[in-house]
Amino acid sequence: MRNKTLAAPYLVWMAIFTVIPLGIVFYFAFTDGTGAFTLANIDNIGNYLPIFVKSVWLALVSSIICLIIGYPVAYYIAGRSHRGQRFLYMLVMLPMCISFLLRTMAWVALLDDTGILNGFITALGMKPLPLIRTNAAVVLGMVYNYLPYMIMPLYTVIMKIDPRLVEAAQDLGCSNPQVFRRVVFPLSVPGIVSGFTMVFVPAVSTFYISQKLGSSGTTLIGDVIESQFKTAYNPNLGAALSLVLMLLVLICIGVMNRFSGDGEVATV
């Protein structure tokens, strides 16, 4: 009974800020402007299927790039001394102290047609490059903003790997690549899944990055949802799109968790 009493504030918090908002989304998704029940909003979602596909694709690409960059960084940090780990971890977290909007706008200043990079290129006598308003620019913005979300869980998991397991593998004749492939990597899979999820979820639903670094051809589902609430004034369709996006994210998380395994060491 005591444990249930202590959990009461958390349950109230979840009810107010999770359950009730989800209920409101469900209500608007299945009603029209008059409050009458309708499936028209769900039927209209098919018109936005290509945007859903593009959003998932760019989010996957961004997550994979974050993994490719973040894993070596996390592995390197975990191998330093405690003092070095704290310093390097602080450097990873330092950009997060700056506003998300400012970090994105900084890339606009760098990539714009008259920005810093193209200014340097034109100073060399070359034509400006199309660095902004492309899918690559949107992916770059996602990777830059969400890379710490990949490094943090990877570092936490790799740091906790028992060094005696590595020593045992080396004593059994494993080379350094074999130790990594058979011991370190399998044990770090939970961190990979956690980091991939933490990057994919905000990336698939982002809208500010695509607005500033993309173009009309790089419209993502987050942009469409925002426009339904702020421009088209159709919260019912916006809620339906939000509901489908939420289900899509939950499915992706479930699939990634299914393939995460138990983090057991492979046979040496």
pLDDT for the residue numbered 254: 83
In eight-state DSSP terms, residue 124 is T
SS3 11: helix
CATH code for the domain in which residue 108 is found: 1.10.3720.10
In a domain, 127, yes or no: yes
pLDDT for the residue numbered 80: 92
d(CA 205, CA 152): 21
Contact between residue 174 and residue 117 where contact means Cβ atoms under 8 Å apart: no
Over the chain (268 residues), the average pLDDT of each successive run of 10 is 74 86 93 92 92 94 97 95 93 91 93 92 90 94 96 94 90 89 92 92 93 89 93 93 90 76 43
d(CA 76, CA 64): 19
Among residues 71, 175, 66, which one has the least CA distance to residue 183?
175
Residue 206: which region, alpha, beta or left (left: phi > 0; alpha: psi -120 to 50)? beta
Measured CA distances, 176 to 59, 80, 180, 182, 264 (Å): 32, 17, 6, 10, 19
In a domain, 92, yes or no: yes
d(CA 208, CA 142): 10
- Residue for token pair 């006598």: 125
Contact between residue 31 and residue 38 where contact means Cβ atoms under 8 Å apart: yes
Among residues 149, 138, 131, 43, which one has the least CA distance to residue 95?
149
In a domain, 84, yes or no: yes
Count structural domains, the chain.
1
Cα dihedral angle (59, 63, 65, 68), rounded to 10 degrees?
Answer: -170
In a domain, 19, yes or no: no
Secondary structure of 16-70 as H, E, C letters? HHHHHHHHHHHHHHCECCCCCECCHHHHHHHHHHHHHHHHHHHHHHHHHHHHHHH
In a domain, 68, yes or no: yes
In a domain, 30, yes or no: no
Give the domain range for residue 111. 49-258
